[in-house]
Amino acid sequence: MELRRITDCVFYTMFNKESDRPVLGYINGQNRSLMVDSGNSINHVEWFNEAIRNEGLRTPEFIAITHWHWDHTFGMYAVNGTTIAHQKTNVKLAEIAKWEWTDSKMKERLEAGVEIEFADTCIRTEYPTLSEIRVVTSDISFEGYMEIDLGGITAELHHIPSPHSDDSVCIFIPQERVLFIGDAVGVDYYNNCYLDKDKLRSLITAIEGFDFDTCVVGHAEPISKQSIVNIMNSLMER
């Protein structure tokens, strides 16, 4: 896994389509560092840790979660730092933590519409041995807003409206003018790919309110502020 640089203090790893591994972020402060999302497995976490070691960077003291979906959270049990998520994220993860991970139980959830086919397929790709799946809640939860001083730079965690998931959180690094938004700009895959335009309109307003140059999204290359706004406006016109 390659660690790519956005600024002197902000990095990201690339997504992987095969098992739906999302982009992971790394913010390096003078005193502490923060990882954005925990990846989808222990293997994903280990690849991330190897990438930051290769750059001479320390293991992150904090891990901030953008939303509850499996590809962003199933690696949480394997990270070493303090994990942070929105209260709504933890409610959902507490529910999933009770699930049984067997072929038959996964098929039952798929047939009942509790899980979606794309996630089921990718989970099976990432976990040839389903019993290795472990789902946990975060160490710290918050509502609305949380700020973390990393030393010289600040990570601001904002709960934002999103058509993708109601627990969506963005991580803003004002000193570096970088905004991580996870999958906030997207349809609700757990509701027949419905696009709630009221939530999208509110998301546009929220994102336009941040003063940033680079937007890091969950499953694509980072883009400019104008580009992400243009994408959202295009979705509004669908």
Contact status, residue 20 vs residue 117, Cβ threshold 8 Å: no
Strand pairing category for 223-224 and 214-217 = antiparallel
Question: What is the length of the chain?
Answer: 238
Cα–Cα distance between 94 and 112 in angstroms, integer? 19
> 8, exposed or middle or buried, with CB in 10 Å at 0-12, 13-18, 19+?
exposed
Percent of the chain exceeding pLDDT 90 equals 97
Cα–Cα distance between 89 and 66 in angstroms, integer? 9
- pLDDT tens for 173-222 read 999 999 999 999 999 999 999 999 999 999 999 999 999 999 999 999 99
Closest Cα to residue 153, out of 26, 52, 46, 42? 26
Q: What is the pLDDT along the chain (238 residues), one digit of tens a residue?
A: 689 999 999 999 999 988 999 999 999 999 999 999 999 999 999 999 999 999 999 999 999 999 999 999 999 999 999 999 999 999 999 999 999 999 999 999 999 999 999 999 999 999 999 999 999 999 999 999 999 999 999 999 999 999 999 999 999 999 999 999 999 999 999 999 999 999 999 999 999 999 999 999 999 999 999 999 999 999 999 8
Q: What is the pLDDT of residue 1?
A: 67
Superfamily for the 3-236 domain: Ribonuclease Z/Hydroxyacylglutathione hydrolase-like (3.60.15.10)
Cα–Cα distance between 33 and 20 in angstroms, integer? 25
Instruction: Tell me the chain's radius of gyration from C-alpha atoms.
Output: 17
